[in-house]
Amino acid sequence: MLTRKLHIDPINPDMGAIAEASGIVKAGGIIIFPTETVYGIGANALNESACRRIFALKGRPSDNPLIVHVSSLEMAEGIASIPAEYRDGIRRVWPSPITFIAKSNGTLQKAVTGGLSTVAVRMPAHPVALALISECGVPIAAPSANPSGRPSATNPRRAISYFDGRVECIIDSGAAFFGIESTVIDLESFTVLRPGPFTPEEIEKAFGRMPKVDAVTRGMAHSGVAVSPGVKYAHYAPKTKLLLFSGDIGELTGLLDGIQNLPPFAFIGSAESCKAVSEAFGCSTIALGDRPDLYKIAKNLYDGIIALDSLNVAFGIIEAFEERGIGLAIMNRIRKACSGTSFNSADGLSKILEP
Ligand code: TXA
Ligand code: MG
C-alpha cells in the first residue's frame, strides 16, 4: 500500500491537509498523527474493524485497550461517564498529556476497550491532533505508533520506519513535544497507572488531591492482577540487553574496572556521565542531555535506547535519574526497557553477565 505523507505545520495546521487526513479516518483508514507526547496510530474509535487493524499492525495483545482521543470534554462524555466531582479538574487540565480512565457508557466496542467496563480518554495538547479529531467529529482510538514492546515513535521518521506501506496516511509535524507518553490516571481509585509528563504534583494542584503512586507505577514491581492491562507486557525494550545501574554514578567506573574480561558495552546517560564513562573506558556512549534537564532527557530517551542496537555491543548500561517530576516517568520507562534488570555492584553485574 502507498502511504500518503502529509506535512502539516505543528502550530498552525493547514486546514486543507487536515480535511484530507480526516477524510481518510472517516473512510475507515489508519492514520499516524502527532500528539504532544508521542506519535499515535489511530482510527475512528466507532469503527470496529479499523480498530482491530490497529491491533494487528502493532502485534498488540487484544486485551490491552486503546486510548480514545477527544477534542472536547463533551466528546469524552459521549463515550464515558465522567464523575461530576472531577469535571472541573478535567476542564482545568485538558488539553494536556493526561489520560483518564473512566467508566465506559457502552458506546465503544470490545475492539477498543478490550472488554473492560472502563475506557481511557485523553484530549491531546497538540494543534494537529486537536484539529484532526474535531474535523473528524468522532473520537480517535490510538495507541502509540510502535510495534508492541518497542519504544514509541517520538518523531515521524521513526513512525515511517515502523509502519511505512502498511497504513493509509502518516502526518509529519516534526518531533513530538515531550517524547514520553501521557500520564494515565484511574478516576475511580485516583491512582497514577502510568507516570508521564503531567506530574503528580501538578495533578494535586488541579484537583486539590494528591494521586496515589505505587511501586508498580514506578516500574519497580510487576502486578499480578493487571490494573492497567499494559503493565503486564514488556515495553520500550531495545534488542540489545540493557541494564540499569542503580548505584551512585560516581562509583560506576571503579566498579567496572573491577570486572575481568568485560565484554564491549555502551553507556546511555546524561552528558556529564557519558563524558566520565567514555574518558575512563573509551566505550561508545549515548548522551540524552544535561543531567538537570529532565525534560530533555525524557525527549531523547527512546531514540537513545533504539540507538543502542546500532552499536554492535554485548550490552548497554543506562544510568538512573532522580524520580522527581517527569523523572518518575523516565525511571518507569527505563525499568521497563531493562525488564527490571539492574545492578549496583561488581558482583551484581558479573552475575548478570554470566553466560
Ligand atoms: O501519550 C499517549 O498516551 C500516547 C499518545 C498516542 O496519545 N498513547 C499511548 O497509548 O501511549 P498506548 O496504547 O501505547 O498506552 C495506553 C496505556 C496502556 O498501558 C493501556 O493498558 C492503558 O493505557 N489503558 C488503556 N485503556 C485502559 C483502561 N480501560 N484501564 C486501564 N488502563 C488502560
Ligand atoms: Mg504504547
Residue 297 near residue 288 (C-beta atoms within 8 A): yes
Which residues, 6 or more positions from 177, have their beta carbon under 8 angstroms from its beta carbon?
36, 37, 125, 126
pLDDT for residue 232: 60
Q: Which amino acid is at 271?
A: A
> How is residue 231 written as a grid cell?
503493565
Separation CA 179–CA 126 (nearest Å)? 13
The top-level CATH class assigned to 241-353 is alpha beta
pLDDT for residue 288: 98
> 275: CA distance to ligand 2 center in Å?
32
What residue's CA is closest to ligand 1, atom 20? 230
Please give the C-alpha separations between residue 322 and each of 98, 169, 291, 339, in angstroms, as whole numbers.
21, 38, 9, 19
pLDDT for residue 214: 81
Mutate to test the pocket of ligand 1, among 38, 67, 121 (most ligand atoms within 8 A of CB): 67
Check if 228 has its Cβ closer than 6 Å to any atom of ligand 1. Answer: yes
Please give the C-alpha separations between residue 19 and each of 7, 26, 134, 166, in angstroms, as whole numbers.
13, 10, 10, 21
Please give the C-alpha separations between residue 320 and each of 144, 221, 270, 287, in angstroms, as whole numbers.
24, 16, 9, 13
Domain ranges of the chain: 4-207, 241-353
Q: Which alpha helices (H) appear in the chain, and where do they start and end?
A: 15-26, 48-58, 73-77, 84-93, 110-113, 127-136, 156-163, 200-207, 215-218, 252-257, 271-281, 294-307, 327-337, 346-353
Check if 101 has its Cβ closer than 6 Å to any atom of ligand 1. Answer: yes
Among candidate residues 122, 10, 19, 144, the one with its CA nearest the CA of residue 71 = 122
Chain position carrying cell 492491562:
229
Separation CA 38–CA 158 (nearest Å)? 11
Residue 255 near residue 346 (C-beta atoms within 8 A): yes
List the pLDDT tens digit at each of the 355 positions of the chain: 999 999 999 999 999 999 999 999 999 999 999 999 999 999 999 999 999 999 999 999 988 999 999 999 999 999 999 999 999 999 999 999 999 999 999 999 998 999 999 999 999 999 999 999 999 999 999 999 999 999 999 999 999 999 999 999 999 999 999 999 999 999 999 999 999 999 999 999 999 999 999 876 765 554 444 455 565 667 888 999 999 999 888 899 999 988 888 999 999 999 999 999 999 989 999 999 999 999 999 999 999 999 999 999 999 999 999 988 899 999 999 999 998 889 999 999 999 998 7
Check if 141 has its Cβ closer than 6 Å to any atom of ligand 1. Answer: no
The top-level CATH class assigned to 4-207 is alpha beta
pLDDT for residue 86: 96
Name the pairing type of β-strands 31-33 and 315-319.
unpaired
Q: Which atom belonging to ligand 1 lies closest to the Cα atom of 196? A: 1
Check if 199 has its Cβ closer than 6 Å to any atom of ligand 1. Answer: no
Helix (H, G, I), strand (E, B) or coil at 142: coil
Check if 35 has its Cβ closer than 6 Å to any atom of ligand 1. Answer: yes
> 297: CA distance to ligand 2 center in Å?
19
Check if 118 has its Cβ closer than 6 Å to any atom of ligand 1. Answer: yes
